Amino acid sequence: MLCYGVGPGTQVGSYEVLAFLGNGGMGEVYKVRHIISQRIEAIKLLLTSSDRSVEVADRFLREIRVLANLCHPNIAGLHTAFHHENQLIMVMEFVDGMNLGERLARGMKLQDSLEYTRQALSALEYAHSREVIHRDIKPSNIMIDNAGRAKLLDFGLARVTSPGARLTSSRSLLGSVHYISPEQIRGETMDARSDLYALGVTLYELLTGCLPIQGDSLSAIIRGHLETEPQSPSSLNHGISRSLSEVVLHALKKNPDDRFQSATEFLAALGTVRLESGADLEMTLDRTLDVSEWHTPKHDSAEPASHTSDHGALKYDKAVLEDISLQLANYVGPIAKVIVKRASGSSSSLRELCDKVAQEIDSENYRKSFLTSVRKHLRASGEF
């Protein structure tokens, strides 16, 4: 975090750094203000300390060139790019808001889930029409600004294809394992329909609060994408209609030929669902989706904050688990609730639970930040 001596108050080229926003596999992102125009923007600085620095640099440059040819209200736009002290820097539109994973962790209405999905599909429809495949669609790569507009981010894994061409996956798995398509896993040719699968996973998650494919290991999740048919979303959330559930499952077909063939088709299907569902769907639109209802143990209000059950497993206060899930979601996305639930059933103390879920965070610095954020609960339980 905060490489190259960059931090609030420092200057990078013609930009004053205001705040650190986050990082990923390729670069660090900062909120900045252009010194002359005073416009608030975001810059991404390329990380060069990786052993794969040449590959990362090529990917970073490709992202710049891809974004330079995209202009859509639901895609965070590129403003410019330049070199500063031998560092390649991308200047982007600053999106003031939170990513879709963070938004879900705070509770989401059904109408918002559908609207954000439609906007993401509109962005994909546009990108695909220009032969751009994103290849890393997931909640953390979809920002929701303060006006409620979805913005697709991070085209670092994107590829531009010639008309009619399909990409062949590399031996390494690209993107996030919970959202990658079966054809990506098998190393087969892939096209825009892989993005639609990933967005189908995302929509499933928005509607139910959980992922369609789960597992205790990387291999189990990969096997699930290839072999397991997801549970119907309507069986997990009775507030959604069967027809909407069928649309989501159609997007998650294992064979790309059985899925929606384009973002346009996916959009049309969602539009049909809204008309078909009528009053039934309209009645559910004002219902806030509380994912904690499905992922945290139920407690009687008279019960203490935590206690040992008859089976010896420690139970925890619902509000504590919700806050730990919320803090963890900042680093791993909405899968946080599933991780915390699993850890709560196998931990003998709150400290052990926190240590277990922290291991799901790749960055050591971020693990420390997470543990700092949940320290108050350890103090309250007498474990700190």
Distances (CA, A) of 174 to 42, 62, 122, 158, 307: 25, 15, 23, 10, 42
| Mean of pLDDT values over 207-227 | 90
What are the residue numbers of the active site? 136
In Å, how far are 28, 111, 184, 194, 224 from 180, measured between CA atoms? 24, 26, 6, 7, 11
Question: Between 194 and 187, where is the model more confident?
Answer: 194
Average pLDDT of the chain?
A: 81
pLDDT tens digits for 267-315? Answer: 999 988 853 433 333 323 333 333 333 333 333 333 344 444 433 345 7
Mean pLDDT within 186-195: 89
- 3-93: what CATH class? alpha beta
Instruction: Tell me the two tokens of residue 182.
Output: 């079966």
Least confidently predicted of 55-59, 105-109, 124-128: 55-59
- What integer pLDDT is reported at residue 25 of this predicted model? 54
DSSP label at 257? G
Which tokens belong to 225? 């994408």
| Global pTM value | 0.70
Q: ∠ CA 192-193-199 to the nearest 5 degrees?
A: 100
DSSP string, 268-327: HHHHHHHHHHHHHHHHHTT-EE-THHHHS----TTS-S-EE-TTSPEE--HHHHHHHHHH
User: Helix (H, G, I), strand (E, B), or coil: what is residue 259?
Assistant: coil
How far from each other are the two terminal CA atoms of the chain, in whole angstroms? Answer: 26
CB 157 within 8 A of CB 190: no
Which residue pairs, CB below 8 angstroms and at least 24 apart, start in 298-302? none
E strand or H helix that includes residue 136: none
Q: Given this model, what pLDDT does residue 249 score?
A: 97
CATH number of 97-284: 1.10.510.10
Separation of alpha carbons 21 and 27, rounded Å: 11
For residue 220, what are the CA distances in angstroms to 73, 99, 176, 198, 294?
38, 27, 14, 18, 22
Q: CA 176 to CA 160: how far, in whole Å?
A: 20
pLDDT over 80 at 183, yes or no: yes
Handedness of CA 218, 224, 225, 227 (dihedral sign): positive
pLDDT digits (tens, 9 = 90+) for 146-161: 999 999 998 888 888 7
> Which residue did the predictor score with more confidence, 67 or 48?
67
Domain spans in the chain, listed from the N-terminal domain onward: 3-93, 97-284, 293-380
CB 137 within 8 A of CB 119: no
Q: What pLDDT shows up at residue 162?
A: 55
What is the amino acid identity at position 61?
Answer: L
How far apart, in whole angstroms, are the C-alpha atoms of residue 66 and residue 233? 35
